[in-house]
Structure formats: C-alpha cells, structure tokens
Structure 1
Amino acid sequence: MMPFGFERDQPPRPRSPGWMITFADLMSLLVSFFVLLFATTTVERGDWERVVQPISEYLTGHRLAGKGAAEVPTPGKARIDLGYAAALLDKLLADQKALVGATVRREEHRLVLSLPAAPIAHWADTQTPPLLDLARLLANFENHIAVIAHRAANPAPGADTTREWVTALGAANSVAGALRHLGYQRPLSVMAMVDLGDGDQTRIEIAVEDTAAAPARAEGDHAP
C-alpha cells in the first residue's frame, strides 16, 4: 500500500517540436511570395488561353471564344433531307418526257441523278432546254450540287487519258453552264472522270450532296 499523498509518476506528454511549426510558417511565406510574384507578372494572352481552353471545354462543354479568335467553319448539314429530295426527283422524272431514261440512286452521303445517253449539246441546249425543270427544282434545294462527267478510257495499252479527261471536263462545264443559265444561282462543283468501259459517249451525272450549298453568287458571277 502506497503512502498517503504519494502520486504515481505520470508519463511526460509529447510536445510538438518547435522546428515543425517554424518550417510550416516558412513554407507558407514561400508560397505567398510566389503567388504574389506570379500576380505581379504579365501573363501572355496566348499562354492564358492555352491553359484555360481545355479546362473550360471540360467543365462546361462549350468552347471559350476569345476576342479576335478565328473559328474554323465546318460543313453545315443540308436542310433538305436526301430521302425527300429523292422523292421530288423521282416525281420530276415521271412527269418530264425530256428526262425519260434518267435514274436516281442513293449513295451514302448523296443522291446521284444519271442522265440518259445523249450528245452533250442536247443537255446544254438553252433554247428548248431539257434541263429547265430540273434546274428549277435544284434551285429550291439548299444542298450542294455537283456535275460529274464520265468518259470511257482509250482501251489501247498505255494510252494517255488526258484527251478523254479534258473532253469530260468540257462536257461537265457545259451542263453546269446550262443549269446556271436556266436559273440555278448557287455555286456548282464540276468534275470529270475517266472510266473503264465501252462507248464513246460522255455520261452526265448530277449529285445532290448531304451538305449545305454555299450562298448564291452575285448576279453576273458565273464562276464554277
């Protein structure tokens, strides 16, 4: 039995070393110093936008447009659905005797109207124009339109296809010019293709793309 008034020795309480407090204060001062230093420097706009842009897109899903930033245009979606355009073209072919023999086929991103075999002068005629109603219909489409001329290649071994390509390009330009003369105002793409096949006649196709056409050109500007 312990004597009265005797207290058991208590273990010493752990004390936080003073140097840790001093170290934490020092780090806080250093961080504050660098923050102040950064705040007083001039940040280049380009560097700032490079840092902020991905963060803004990730958090909001919207692109941050800075002053004077150039936006890259993307091809717009055509307002005329290709299925609806195909129905209109089919009705036109059924109603117009001048287009008897023409066919419409659907491809992945476009409709292709194949005109029946005929001399190019027939399709480019603007006095008794066989393409008059087609030009009027296409003028109501907001889709991009392309005129494609196909020419059979010379079957001789090693033959140069330049002549056939030039002939096809001239035919496509003639048909595109007729469409413009008949009232189509938007820009047209003109293409020539040399194919393997028989026959000496140029085939004409008119493609209705699944993208929006460029705005109509000013009157008098007939560049392709």
Structure 2
Amino acid sequence: MLLTAANASLDSYTYIARGGVFANVQTGNVIFFGLNMSQGKLHDALDHAWPILAFLVGIAVASYLKSGRVHRYLTHPLRWAMLLQAIVLAAIGFVPATVPHNFVTVPISFVTAIQIGLFRNVGDLSYFPAATTGNMMRMVEFGYDRFVNKTEASRGVFTTYAVLILCFATGVLIGALATRAWCVHAIWLSAGFLAITLALIIFDERRKSNSV
C-alpha cells in the first residue's frame, strides 16, 4: 500500500512541478510523445522520450539483478534498490525548479523502474505498483468471480486489488496537494513512504527468520 501510494504521488509531483512529465506511468509519456511529435514540438516530445528510455534501462538492470548473477556480491537487491530510490528522491528535493526537468525526471524513472522490476507481487498475486489499469482489470475479474460465480476464494483477492487501487488514487491526491503546497520539496513525502516500506520489509524478514 505504501509503495503504491509513493509511486502514485511521484507522478503527481513530476507532472505538476517537473515539466508535465510522468516519472512512472510510461503510457502517459508515450501518448504525450506522440501528440507532441504530431504537432512538430520536438523539444517537448524529447522531454517525454528520455524518461521512457531511462525506464527501459532500469527494467533491464532489474532483470539482471533478478538473474542471480550478482547474489555473491549483492544480497537483498530489492532492499538496495528501494534504499537507492529513497536517497535519489530525497536528494532531488533539494534541486530547484530552475534546473532542466530532464535532470530530475530521468533519474526518477530509472530508479523507480529498478524497484518496479524487482517488486511486482503481493503474496501470490501479480500487480503493478506504478499504474492502476492492470489492477482495475484484475479487481473486476475477481469481483465477477466472487459475486457472480460465488467463488469464496476470490473475496480476498478482490479486496486486495480494490485496496491497491484506492491507495493509488490516494497517492495521486496526496502528491498533488503536497506539490502545490511545498513545490519541489514535496518529493520528500514519497521518499518517506519508501523509507517506511523498506523498514517494514527488513522487519518482516527478520521476524520470519527469528521464528524459524
């Protein structure tokens, strides 16, 4: 829930304070890229293209980390990815709005892509923490299975996706309000969400290891 809210608030932040670019939802960037290209606005189109490329590179890095090739040197890659993201976001909060937006949106897209590439499950359920279309689709499918087909096992799954969608919408709202109030410093809110999430992950893993 915290991770979903953090990623959602990031998109509000970059859209409002960093040039109308989405940090995470690359579908929006692809759409704006195409629209700007159709209008001959090459510079504006490139503002959306660089985060897309950074996102793709970040996903490739996450795939490499998941391959197991670095486990001898880097244990718990998800922890390090989330820590890196929290540090980058905290640092960006000190970057003034006068700095070209690409210097902010590109690193955000890169570190967020690594986190997304490493964390795409809630238990046995797949989900996407930086967008909501897929989660909406799954919520409706499992809701149909629960309320029409009367499959009791789908109740919890339906609730999980519904909560994640609510968290995403809440994160967008909180991010927009915080950005309008604190401008570039509002990104510290997302950094805080990530730090808390990381602490909870470490605590949960240690609790499980101690109970064995």
Task: Compare CA radii of gyration and give the structure with the larger one.
Answer: 1
Higher helix share: 2
Query: TM exceeds 0.5?
Result: no
**Which bin holds the TM-score, normalised by the shorter protein?**
under 0.3
Give the alignment's TM-score, normalised by structure 2: 0.26
Asked which structure has the greater RCO (Cα within 8 Å, sep 6+), the reply is 2
